[in-house]
Amino acid sequence: MGPHPAVAAIRLAVRRVLHDVLTEFAEQTERSGHAPHPELAEAGTGRRRPALPERTDTPLVLVACSGGADSMALASALAFEARKLAVRAGGVTVDHGLQSGSDARATEVVGRLTAMGLDPVEAVAVHVGHEGGPEAAARDARYAALDATAERHGAAAVLLGHTRDDQAETVLLGLARGSGIRSLSGMAAASGPAGRYRRPFLQLDRQTARTACMAQSLPVWDDPHNIDPAYTRSRLRHEGLPALEKALGKGVVEALARTAQLSRDDADALDTWAAEAGRDVRDAAGRLECAKLHALPPAVRRRVLRRAAIEAGSPAGSLFARHIEEVDRLITGWRGQQAINLPGRVEALRQGGRLVIRQS
Question: Sorting pLDDT into bands at 50, 70 and 90, what band is 155?
Answer: very high
Amino acid at 269: A
Q: State residue 42's pLDDT score.
A: 54
Q: State residue 247's pLDDT score.
A: 94
By mean pLDDT, which of 31-35, 54-58, 258-262 is the weakest? Answer: 54-58
Per residue in 107-143, pLDDT (tens digit) is 999 999 999 999 999 999 998 887 767 778 888 899 9
Q: State residue 43's pLDDT score.
A: 53
Helix ranges (DSSP H) in 63-202: 69-82, 102-115, 134-153, 164-176, 181-184
Angle at 271 between CA 267 and CA 275, to 5 degrees: 175
Arithmetic mean of pLDDT, 155-164: 97
Question: Sorting pLDDT into bands at 50, 70 and 90, what band is 51?
Answer: very low
Per residue in 211-222, pLDDT (tens digit) is 999 999 999 988
Kindly tell me the number of DSSP H helices and DSSP E strands found in the chain.
13, 10
Q: Which of 40 and 71 is assigned the larger pLDDT?
A: 71
By mean pLDDT, which of 46-60, 185-199, 229-243, 266-280 is the weakest? Answer: 46-60
Angle at 53 between CA 49 and CA 57, to 5 degrees: 100
Per residue in 74-101, pLDDT (tens digit) is 999 999 999 999 999 999 999 988 788 8
Residue 169 has pLDDT above 50, yes or no: yes
Angle at 269 between CA 19 and CA 170, to 5 degrees: 70
- Which residues have a Cβ under 8 Å from the Cβ of 251 and sit 6 or more positions away? none
Arithmetic mean of pLDDT, 46-54: 42
Q: State residue 303's pLDDT score.
A: 95
Q: State residue 53's pLDDT score.
A: 38
Reported residue count of the chain is 360
Per residue in 204-261, pLDDT (tens digit) is 999 999 999 999 999 998 877 788 788 888 899 999 999 999 999 989 999 999 999 9
Distance between CA atoms of residues 221 and 239, nearest Å: 22
Residue 317 has pLDDT above 80, yes or no: no
Question: Sorting pLDDT into bands at 50, 70 and 90, what band is 47?
Answer: very low
At residue 63, φ and ψ (nearest 5 deg) are: -110, 130
Per residue in 265-298, pLDDT (tens digit) is 999 999 999 999 999 999 999 999 999 999 999 9
Burial label for 58, CB within 10 Å (0-12, 13-18, 19+), is buried
Q: State residue 220's pLDDT score.
A: 94
Q: Work out whether the CA dihedral 295, 298, 300, 302 comes out positive or negative.
A: positive
Distance between CA atoms of residues 12 and 150, nearest Å: 24
Residue 52 has pLDDT above 50, yes or no: no
For residues 93 and 124, the answer to whether their CB atoms sit within 8 Å is yes
At residue 269, φ and ψ (nearest 5 deg) are: -65, -45
According to DSSP, the residues that pair with 122 across neighbouring strands are 92
Question: Sorting pLDDT into bands at 50, 70 and 90, what band is 45?
Answer: very low
| Average per-residue pLDDT for the chain | 90
Residue 55 has pLDDT above 90, yes or no: no
Distance between CA atoms of residues 311 and 118, nearest Å: 41
Q: Of all residues in the chain, what percent carry a pLDDT higher than 70? A: 93
Residue 38 has pLDDT above 80, yes or no: no
Q: State residue 174's pLDDT score.
A: 86
According to DSSP, the residues that pair with 342 across neighbouring strands are 346
